[in-house]
Amino acid sequence: MAALKYAGMDDTDSEDELPPGWEERSTKDGWVYYANHDEMKTQWEHPKTGKKKRCAGDLPYGWEQETDEKGQIIYIDHINKRTTYFDPRQAFTVEDVMVKPKRYDGNTAALEILQGRDLSDKVVLITGGNSGVGFETARSFSLHGAHVILACRNLTRANKAVGLIQQEWHKARVEAMMCDLASLRSVREFAQSFKAKKLPLHILVCNAAVCTQPWSLTEDGLESTFQICHLSHFLLVQCLQDVLRRSAPARVVVVSSESHRFTDLLDSCGKVDLALLSPPKKEYWSMLAYNRAKLCNILFSNELHRRLSSHGVTSNAVHPGNMMYTSIHRSWWLMTFLFTLARPFTKSMQQGAATTVYCAVAPELEGLGGMYFNNCFRCLPSIQAQDQSSAASLWELSERLVAERPMGHSDVQISIN
Protein backbone atom coordinates (compact mmCIF):
# COMPACT_ATOMS: atom_id res chain seq x y z
CA MET A 1 0.00 0.00 0.00
CA ALA A 2 2.90 2.37 0.68
CA ALA A 3 3.99 2.13 -2.93
CA LEU A 4 0.45 2.85 -4.12
CA LYS A 5 0.22 5.86 -1.81
CA TYR A 6 3.57 7.16 -3.03
CA ALA A 7 2.39 6.77 -6.62
CA GLY A 8 -0.89 8.54 -5.90
CA MET A 9 -2.96 5.44 -6.57
CA ASP A 10 -4.63 4.98 -3.21
CA ASP A 11 -6.88 8.04 -3.17
CA THR A 12 -9.75 6.62 -5.23
CA ASP A 13 -13.00 5.26 -3.87
CA SER A 14 -12.98 1.94 -5.74
CA GLU A 15 -10.40 -0.72 -6.39
CA ASP A 16 -11.28 -0.61 -10.09
CA GLU A 17 -11.26 3.20 -10.33
CA LEU A 18 -8.32 4.43 -12.39
CA PRO A 19 -5.69 6.77 -10.89
CA PRO A 20 -5.36 10.29 -12.34
CA GLY A 21 -3.81 10.40 -15.81
CA TRP A 22 -4.98 6.91 -16.77
CA GLU A 23 -7.60 5.98 -19.35
CA GLU A 24 -9.29 2.64 -20.10
CA ARG A 25 -9.53 1.67 -23.77
CA SER A 26 -10.27 -1.48 -25.75
CA THR A 27 -8.96 -3.15 -28.87
CA LYS A 28 -11.10 -3.97 -31.89
CA ASP A 29 -11.63 -7.52 -30.64
CA GLY A 30 -12.66 -6.42 -27.15
CA TRP A 31 -9.50 -6.70 -25.05
CA VAL A 32 -9.12 -3.88 -22.51
CA TYR A 33 -5.86 -1.95 -22.17
CA TYR A 34 -4.82 1.09 -20.12
CA ALA A 35 -3.20 4.31 -21.36
CA ASN A 36 -1.05 6.46 -19.06
CA HIS A 37 -1.13 9.98 -20.55
CA ASP A 38 1.52 11.32 -18.17
CA GLU A 39 4.12 8.71 -19.10
CA MET A 40 2.81 8.14 -22.65
CA LYS A 41 2.61 4.35 -22.31
CA THR A 42 0.02 1.60 -22.46
CA GLN A 43 -0.34 -1.74 -20.69
CA TRP A 44 -2.77 -4.68 -20.51
CA GLU A 45 -2.91 -4.89 -16.71
CA HIS A 46 -5.07 -2.58 -14.59
CA PRO A 47 -2.63 -0.12 -12.92
CA LYS A 48 -4.07 -0.85 -9.42
CA THR A 49 -5.35 -4.43 -9.45
CA GLY A 50 -2.92 -5.90 -11.97
CA LYS A 51 -5.82 -7.80 -13.57
CA LYS A 52 -6.56 -8.20 -17.27
CA LYS A 53 -10.07 -7.72 -18.61
CA ARG A 54 -12.04 -8.09 -21.83
CA CYS A 55 -15.37 -6.74 -23.03
CA ALA A 56 -18.25 -9.18 -22.73
CA GLY A 57 -20.87 -9.70 -25.44
CA ASP A 58 -21.79 -7.67 -28.52
CA LEU A 59 -22.20 -3.93 -28.86
CA PRO A 60 -25.53 -2.59 -27.54
CA TYR A 61 -28.38 -2.12 -30.01
CA GLY A 62 -27.82 0.94 -32.20
CA TRP A 63 -24.06 1.06 -31.72
CA GLU A 64 -21.43 0.50 -34.42
CA GLN A 65 -17.63 0.19 -34.34
CA GLU A 66 -15.59 2.09 -36.97
CA THR A 67 -12.10 3.53 -37.48
CA ASP A 68 -11.42 7.26 -37.82
CA GLU A 69 -8.94 8.93 -40.21
CA LYS A 70 -6.12 8.53 -37.66
CA GLY A 71 -6.70 4.79 -37.44
CA GLN A 72 -8.25 4.94 -33.98
CA ILE A 73 -11.33 2.90 -33.12
CA ILE A 74 -14.47 4.94 -32.54
CA TYR A 75 -17.98 3.93 -31.45
CA ILE A 76 -21.06 5.50 -33.04
CA ASP A 77 -24.35 5.63 -31.15
CA HIS A 78 -26.86 5.97 -34.00
CA ILE A 79 -29.84 6.34 -31.66
CA ASN A 80 -28.46 9.29 -29.68
CA LYS A 81 -26.39 10.64 -32.62
CA ARG A 82 -23.06 10.71 -30.85
CA THR A 83 -19.51 9.41 -31.31
CA THR A 84 -17.03 8.33 -28.63
CA TYR A 85 -13.72 6.57 -28.20
CA PHE A 86 -15.17 4.71 -25.22
CA ASP A 87 -16.32 1.13 -25.89
CA PRO A 88 -19.81 0.90 -24.33
CA ARG A 89 -19.15 -2.76 -23.56
CA GLN A 90 -16.49 -1.67 -21.05
CA ALA A 91 -19.34 -1.22 -18.59
CA PHE A 92 -19.67 -5.01 -18.70
CA THR A 93 -16.06 -6.19 -18.76
CA VAL A 94 -15.15 -9.55 -17.32
CA GLU A 95 -11.92 -10.56 -15.71
CA ASP A 96 -9.54 -12.55 -17.90
CA VAL A 97 -9.29 -15.68 -15.82
CA MET A 98 -7.60 -18.76 -17.24
CA VAL A 99 -10.18 -21.53 -17.09
CA LYS A 100 -8.67 -24.86 -16.14
CA PRO A 101 -9.76 -27.77 -18.33
CA LYS A 102 -12.49 -29.85 -16.74
CA ARG A 103 -11.34 -33.23 -15.52
CA TYR A 104 -13.15 -36.28 -16.84
CA ASP A 105 -12.97 -39.92 -15.81
CA GLY A 106 -14.39 -43.38 -16.54
CA ASN A 107 -17.88 -42.30 -15.46
CA THR A 108 -18.04 -39.40 -17.90
CA ALA A 109 -20.40 -39.67 -20.87
CA ALA A 110 -19.47 -38.45 -24.36
CA LEU A 111 -22.36 -35.96 -24.42
CA GLU A 112 -21.06 -34.50 -21.15
CA ILE A 113 -17.75 -33.64 -22.82
CA LEU A 114 -19.56 -31.94 -25.70
CA GLN A 115 -21.90 -29.92 -23.50
CA GLY A 116 -22.17 -26.39 -24.89
CA ARG A 117 -20.02 -27.20 -27.94
CA ASP A 118 -21.09 -26.17 -31.46
CA LEU A 119 -19.56 -28.52 -34.02
CA SER A 120 -21.54 -27.27 -37.01
CA ASP A 121 -18.30 -26.39 -38.83
CA LYS A 122 -16.80 -29.88 -38.42
CA VAL A 123 -16.87 -32.94 -40.67
CA VAL A 124 -16.38 -36.23 -38.85
CA LEU A 125 -15.71 -39.67 -40.37
CA ILE A 126 -16.18 -42.77 -38.22
CA THR A 127 -15.51 -46.35 -39.28
CA GLY A 128 -17.91 -48.90 -37.86
CA GLY A 129 -20.26 -46.26 -36.51
CA ASN A 130 -23.49 -48.23 -36.80
CA SER A 131 -23.33 -49.94 -33.38
CA GLY A 132 -21.72 -49.92 -29.96
CA VAL A 133 -19.15 -47.30 -29.04
CA GLY A 134 -18.92 -46.14 -32.67
CA PHE A 135 -22.65 -45.41 -32.79
CA GLU A 136 -22.55 -43.41 -29.56
CA THR A 137 -19.54 -41.50 -30.88
CA ALA A 138 -21.43 -40.68 -34.10
CA ARG A 139 -24.60 -39.82 -32.20
CA SER A 140 -22.75 -37.47 -29.83
CA PHE A 141 -21.07 -35.57 -32.66
CA SER A 142 -24.29 -35.41 -34.71
CA LEU A 143 -26.38 -34.02 -31.84
CA HIS A 144 -23.88 -31.18 -31.54
CA GLY A 145 -24.13 -30.14 -35.18
CA ALA A 146 -21.23 -31.95 -36.85
CA HIS A 147 -21.59 -33.45 -40.33
CA VAL A 148 -20.99 -37.12 -39.56
CA ILE A 149 -20.26 -39.88 -42.07
CA LEU A 150 -20.50 -43.53 -41.04
CA ALA A 151 -18.16 -45.75 -43.04
CA CYS A 152 -19.71 -49.20 -42.66
CA ARG A 153 -19.69 -52.63 -44.29
CA ASN A 154 -23.42 -53.25 -43.79
CA LEU A 155 -25.36 -50.35 -45.31
CA THR A 156 -28.69 -51.66 -44.02
CA ARG A 157 -27.51 -51.46 -40.41
CA ALA A 158 -25.72 -48.18 -41.07
CA ASN A 159 -28.85 -46.55 -42.52
CA LYS A 160 -30.82 -47.80 -39.53
CA ALA A 161 -28.28 -46.07 -37.26
CA VAL A 162 -28.65 -42.88 -39.31
CA GLY A 163 -32.43 -43.07 -38.88
CA LEU A 164 -32.15 -43.47 -35.11
CA ILE A 165 -29.99 -40.35 -34.82
CA GLN A 166 -32.28 -38.33 -37.07
CA GLN A 167 -35.32 -39.45 -35.06
CA GLU A 168 -33.64 -37.94 -32.03
CA TRP A 169 -32.88 -34.67 -33.86
CA HIS A 170 -34.36 -34.12 -37.30
CA LYS A 171 -31.67 -31.58 -38.23
CA ALA A 172 -28.81 -34.03 -37.61
CA ARG A 173 -26.42 -34.16 -40.57
CA VAL A 174 -25.45 -37.80 -40.64
CA GLU A 175 -25.08 -40.19 -43.56
CA ALA A 176 -23.82 -43.71 -44.27
CA MET A 177 -21.32 -44.80 -46.90
CA MET A 178 -20.16 -48.25 -47.93
CA CYS A 179 -16.70 -49.28 -46.72
CA ASP A 180 -15.76 -52.91 -46.13
CA LEU A 181 -12.49 -53.04 -44.21
CA ALA A 182 -12.06 -56.68 -45.20
CA SER A 183 -11.36 -55.41 -48.72
CA LEU A 184 -8.59 -52.97 -49.61
CA ARG A 185 -10.41 -52.37 -52.89
CA SER A 186 -13.50 -51.27 -50.96
CA VAL A 187 -11.40 -48.91 -48.82
CA ARG A 188 -9.94 -47.28 -51.93
CA GLU A 189 -13.39 -46.96 -53.52
CA PHE A 190 -14.74 -45.39 -50.35
CA ALA A 191 -11.90 -42.86 -50.28
CA GLN A 192 -12.61 -41.91 -53.90
CA SER A 193 -16.33 -41.49 -53.13
CA PHE A 194 -15.56 -39.36 -50.08
CA LYS A 195 -13.21 -37.12 -52.04
CA ALA A 196 -15.89 -36.68 -54.71
CA LYS A 197 -18.04 -34.95 -52.10
CA LYS A 198 -15.43 -32.14 -51.88
CA LEU A 199 -15.76 -32.04 -48.10
CA PRO A 200 -13.08 -31.18 -45.56
CA LEU A 201 -12.23 -33.75 -42.88
CA HIS A 202 -11.57 -32.42 -39.40
CA ILE A 203 -11.95 -35.58 -37.31
CA LEU A 204 -11.26 -39.15 -38.45
CA VAL A 205 -12.11 -41.89 -35.94
CA CYS A 206 -10.63 -45.31 -36.75
CA ASN A 207 -13.11 -47.22 -34.63
CA ALA A 208 -14.14 -50.43 -36.45
CA ALA A 209 -12.75 -53.72 -35.16
CA VAL A 210 -13.47 -57.42 -34.87
CA CYS A 211 -12.61 -59.74 -31.98
CA THR A 212 -12.60 -63.49 -31.35
CA GLN A 213 -13.13 -64.18 -35.04
CA PRO A 214 -12.54 -67.70 -36.40
CA TRP A 215 -9.51 -67.78 -38.70
CA SER A 216 -10.18 -66.56 -42.21
CA LEU A 217 -8.40 -64.79 -45.03
CA THR A 218 -9.73 -61.64 -46.64
CA GLU A 219 -9.96 -61.28 -50.41
CA ASP A 220 -6.51 -59.69 -50.14
CA GLY A 221 -5.02 -62.89 -48.70
CA LEU A 222 -4.49 -61.52 -45.18
CA GLU A 223 -5.79 -62.71 -41.82
CA SER A 224 -9.05 -60.83 -41.27
CA THR A 225 -8.48 -59.46 -37.73
CA PHE A 226 -5.17 -57.87 -38.73
CA GLN A 227 -6.58 -56.34 -41.90
CA ILE A 228 -9.85 -55.04 -40.45
CA CYS A 229 -8.38 -53.66 -37.22
CA HIS A 230 -5.14 -52.22 -38.62
CA LEU A 231 -4.18 -52.46 -42.27
CA SER A 232 -7.39 -51.10 -43.80
CA HIS A 233 -7.33 -48.14 -41.40
CA PHE A 234 -3.72 -47.53 -42.41
CA LEU A 235 -4.77 -47.49 -46.07
CA LEU A 236 -7.78 -45.26 -45.33
CA VAL A 237 -5.58 -42.63 -43.71
CA GLN A 238 -3.07 -42.90 -46.56
CA CYS A 239 -5.85 -42.27 -49.09
CA LEU A 240 -7.32 -39.33 -47.13
CA GLN A 241 -4.20 -37.69 -45.76
CA ASP A 242 -4.29 -34.93 -48.40
CA VAL A 243 -7.84 -34.06 -47.29
CA LEU A 244 -6.77 -34.08 -43.63
CA ARG A 245 -3.85 -31.78 -44.38
CA ARG A 246 -6.06 -29.32 -46.29
CA SER A 247 -8.51 -29.35 -43.36
CA ALA A 248 -5.90 -28.63 -40.69
CA PRO A 249 -6.12 -28.44 -37.79
CA ALA A 250 -7.39 -32.02 -38.06
CA ARG A 251 -7.33 -34.93 -35.65
CA VAL A 252 -7.17 -38.70 -36.04
CA VAL A 253 -8.34 -40.87 -33.14
CA VAL A 254 -7.41 -44.57 -33.30
CA VAL A 255 -9.42 -46.85 -31.00
CA SER A 256 -7.08 -49.40 -29.43
CA SER A 257 -7.39 -51.48 -26.25
CA GLU A 258 -5.56 -52.27 -23.02
CA SER A 259 -5.20 -55.78 -24.41
CA HIS A 260 -2.29 -54.44 -26.49
CA ARG A 261 -0.12 -55.03 -23.39
CA PHE A 262 -0.35 -58.82 -23.61
CA THR A 263 1.50 -59.51 -26.85
CA ASP A 264 4.55 -58.87 -29.00
CA LEU A 265 5.12 -58.21 -32.71
CA LEU A 266 8.87 -58.61 -33.10
CA ASP A 267 10.92 -61.44 -34.53
CA SER A 268 14.35 -62.51 -33.28
CA CYS A 269 15.95 -59.65 -35.24
CA GLY A 270 13.77 -57.02 -33.59
CA LYS A 271 11.65 -56.41 -36.68
CA VAL A 272 7.86 -56.48 -36.88
CA ASP A 273 7.03 -60.04 -37.91
CA LEU A 274 4.34 -60.47 -40.56
CA ALA A 275 4.01 -64.13 -39.61
CA LEU A 276 2.75 -63.00 -36.19
CA LEU A 277 0.36 -60.41 -37.64
CA SER A 278 -1.15 -62.63 -40.32
CA PRO A 279 -0.52 -66.22 -39.16
CA PRO A 280 -1.51 -69.46 -40.85
CA LYS A 281 -4.55 -71.28 -39.45
CA LYS A 282 -2.55 -73.78 -37.35
CA GLU A 283 -0.84 -70.92 -35.45
CA TYR A 284 -3.91 -68.73 -35.02
CA TRP A 285 -5.51 -67.81 -31.70
CA SER A 286 -8.30 -65.25 -32.02
CA MET A 287 -7.65 -63.33 -28.79
CA LEU A 288 -3.93 -63.07 -29.48
CA ALA A 289 -4.66 -61.82 -33.02
CA TYR A 290 -6.87 -59.10 -31.52
CA ASN A 291 -4.20 -58.10 -28.98
CA ARG A 292 -1.60 -57.80 -31.75
CA ALA A 293 -3.92 -55.71 -33.90
CA LYS A 294 -4.55 -53.36 -30.96
CA LEU A 295 -0.79 -52.96 -30.46
CA CYS A 296 -0.57 -52.10 -34.17
CA ASN A 297 -3.18 -49.38 -33.59
CA ILE A 298 -0.99 -47.54 -31.08
CA LEU A 299 2.20 -47.89 -33.10
CA PHE A 300 0.35 -46.66 -36.19
CA SER A 301 -1.11 -43.66 -34.34
CA ASN A 302 2.29 -42.66 -32.96
CA GLU A 303 4.03 -42.88 -36.33
CA LEU A 304 1.15 -41.07 -38.05
CA HIS A 305 1.48 -38.20 -35.61
CA ARG A 306 5.24 -38.06 -36.15
CA ARG A 307 4.77 -37.83 -39.91
CA LEU A 308 1.78 -35.47 -40.15
CA SER A 309 1.89 -33.23 -37.06
CA SER A 310 4.01 -30.67 -38.91
CA HIS A 311 1.13 -30.37 -41.39
CA GLY A 312 -1.48 -29.68 -38.70
CA VAL A 313 -2.75 -33.26 -38.37
CA THR A 314 -2.46 -34.90 -34.95
CA SER A 315 -3.18 -38.47 -33.90
CA ASN A 316 -3.86 -40.14 -30.55
CA ALA A 317 -4.83 -43.69 -29.59
CA VAL A 318 -7.48 -44.49 -27.00
CA HIS A 319 -8.79 -47.35 -24.91
CA PRO A 320 -12.57 -46.91 -24.66
CA GLY A 321 -12.79 -48.64 -21.28
CA ASN A 322 -12.73 -51.97 -19.52
CA MET A 323 -15.71 -54.31 -19.48
CA MET A 324 -18.12 -52.85 -22.01
CA TYR A 325 -21.00 -54.88 -23.37
CA THR A 326 -20.64 -54.54 -27.14
CA SER A 327 -21.25 -56.79 -30.12
CA ILE A 328 -17.53 -57.05 -30.92
CA HIS A 329 -17.29 -60.46 -29.22
CA ARG A 330 -20.30 -61.92 -31.04
CA SER A 331 -18.19 -64.60 -32.77
CA TRP A 332 -17.32 -66.36 -29.49
CA TRP A 333 -20.24 -67.73 -27.45
CA LEU A 334 -18.21 -68.05 -24.23
CA MET A 335 -17.18 -64.37 -24.29
CA THR A 336 -20.77 -63.36 -25.03
CA PHE A 337 -21.98 -65.44 -22.06
CA LEU A 338 -19.39 -63.94 -19.68
CA PHE A 339 -20.19 -60.41 -20.79
CA THR A 340 -23.90 -61.06 -20.31
CA LEU A 341 -23.22 -62.04 -16.70
CA ALA A 342 -21.03 -58.98 -16.14
CA ARG A 343 -23.33 -56.54 -17.92
CA PRO A 344 -24.71 -54.85 -14.75
CA PHE A 345 -21.14 -53.85 -13.85
CA THR A 346 -19.93 -52.67 -17.26
CA LYS A 347 -19.56 -49.16 -18.68
CA SER A 348 -22.31 -47.81 -20.90
CA MET A 349 -21.67 -47.15 -24.58
CA GLN A 350 -21.91 -43.39 -23.87
CA GLN A 351 -19.15 -43.73 -21.30
CA GLY A 352 -17.17 -45.88 -23.70
CA ALA A 353 -17.34 -43.17 -26.37
CA ALA A 354 -16.16 -40.44 -23.99
CA THR A 355 -12.39 -40.90 -24.42
CA THR A 356 -12.67 -40.90 -28.21
CA VAL A 357 -14.77 -37.72 -28.14
CA TYR A 358 -12.40 -36.10 -25.64
CA CYS A 359 -9.36 -36.71 -27.86
CA ALA A 360 -11.28 -35.43 -30.88
CA VAL A 361 -12.35 -32.06 -29.44
CA ALA A 362 -10.49 -31.17 -26.21
CA PRO A 363 -9.01 -27.66 -26.64
CA GLU A 364 -6.07 -28.56 -24.39
CA LEU A 365 -5.03 -31.25 -26.89
CA GLU A 366 -4.83 -28.88 -29.87
CA GLY A 367 -1.59 -29.65 -31.70
CA LEU A 368 -0.72 -32.52 -29.35
CA GLY A 369 -0.55 -36.18 -30.30
CA GLY A 370 1.41 -39.40 -30.24
CA MET A 371 -0.24 -40.23 -26.92
CA TYR A 372 -2.43 -42.96 -25.45
CA PHE A 373 -5.56 -42.23 -23.40
CA ASN A 374 -7.70 -44.32 -21.07
CA ASN A 375 -10.78 -42.91 -19.30
CA CYS A 376 -9.93 -39.45 -20.69
CA PHE A 377 -6.53 -39.53 -18.99
CA ARG A 378 -3.18 -39.79 -20.69
CA CYS A 379 -1.36 -42.96 -19.64
CA LEU A 380 1.68 -44.89 -20.78
CA PRO A 381 1.09 -47.83 -23.13
CA SER A 382 3.31 -50.91 -23.12
CA ILE A 383 7.06 -50.59 -23.67
CA GLN A 384 6.81 -51.90 -27.24
CA ALA A 385 3.94 -49.52 -28.02
CA GLN A 386 6.31 -46.66 -27.16
CA ASP A 387 9.11 -47.99 -29.37
CA GLN A 388 9.74 -45.69 -32.34
CA SER A 389 11.65 -48.30 -34.33
CA SER A 390 8.70 -50.74 -34.02
CA ALA A 391 6.34 -48.00 -35.19
CA ALA A 392 8.55 -47.21 -38.19
CA SER A 393 8.95 -50.91 -39.01
CA LEU A 394 5.17 -51.49 -38.90
CA TRP A 395 4.61 -48.45 -41.12
CA GLU A 396 7.05 -49.72 -43.74
CA LEU A 397 5.50 -53.19 -43.66
CA SER A 398 1.99 -51.72 -44.01
CA GLU A 399 3.09 -49.57 -46.94
CA ARG A 400 4.49 -52.62 -48.67
CA LEU A 401 1.36 -54.72 -48.06
CA VAL A 402 -1.04 -52.15 -49.50
CA ALA A 403 1.30 -51.40 -52.42
CA GLU A 404 1.34 -55.12 -53.31
CA ARG A 405 -2.46 -55.05 -53.49
CA PRO A 406 -3.40 -52.19 -55.83
CA MET A 407 -6.95 -51.40 -56.96
CA GLY A 408 -8.38 -54.29 -58.96
CA HIS A 409 -5.68 -56.75 -57.85
CA SER A 410 -7.03 -57.92 -54.51
CA ASP A 411 -6.69 -61.64 -55.17
CA VAL A 412 -2.96 -61.80 -54.33
CA GLN A 413 -2.38 -64.39 -51.60
CA ILE A 414 0.25 -63.73 -48.97
CA SER A 415 3.00 -66.30 -48.52
CA ILE A 416 4.45 -66.85 -45.07
CA ASN A 417 7.49 -69.09 -44.72
Q: What is the pLDDT of residues 345-370, one digit of tens each?
A: 568 999 999 999 999 999 999 999 99
Calculate helix-pair angle for 388-403, 286-308, nearest 10 degrees.
Answer: 100
pLDDT range class, residue 59, cuts 50, 70, 90: confident
Domain boundaries, the chain: 23-95, 110-404
CA–CA separation, 354 and 255 (whole Å): 12
* Sign, Cα dihedral of 243, 244, 246, 250: positive
Mean confidence (pLDDT) of the chain? 86
Chain Cα centroid distance, residue 253: 6
Domain 23-95 falls in which CATH fold? Answer: Ubiquitin Ligase Nedd4; Chain: W; (2.20.70)
- The Cβ-side half-sphere exposure at 324, using a 13 Å CA radius, reads 25
- pTM, two decimals, is 0.74
Task: Provide the pLDDT confidence category of residue 23 given band limits of 50, 70 and 90.
Answer: confident
Instruction: Name the band, by pLDDT with cuts 50, 70 and 90, for residue 99.
Output: low
Fold assignment, 110-404: Rossmann fold (3.40.50)
Structure confidence by residue, pLDDT tens digits, 318-347: 999 875 555 555 555 555 555 454 445 568
Q: What is the mean pLDDT of residues 113-125?
A: 93
Q: Which carries the bigger pLDDT value, residue 185 or residue 330?
A: 185
User: Which of the four pLDDT bands, split at 50, 70 and 90, describes residue 410?
Assistant: very low
d(CA 392, CA 415): 22
Structure confidence at residue 25 (pLDDT): 79
Which of 34, 290, 325, 358 does the annotation list as catalytic?
290
On the question of a common fold for 23-95 and 110-404, the answer reads no
Least confident of 73-77, 192-196, 229-233, 369-373: 73-77
Cβ atoms 266, 384 nearer than 8 A: yes
Given a cut of 80, whether residue 10 has pLDDT beyond it is no
Pick the closest to residue 324 from 298, 344, 296 (CA basis): 344
Active site residue 372: no
Q: What is the dihedral of CA 107, 108, 110, 116, to 10 degrees?
A: 160
The predicted structure's pLDDT at residue 97: 53
Cα(107)–Cα(66) distance, integer angstroms:
49
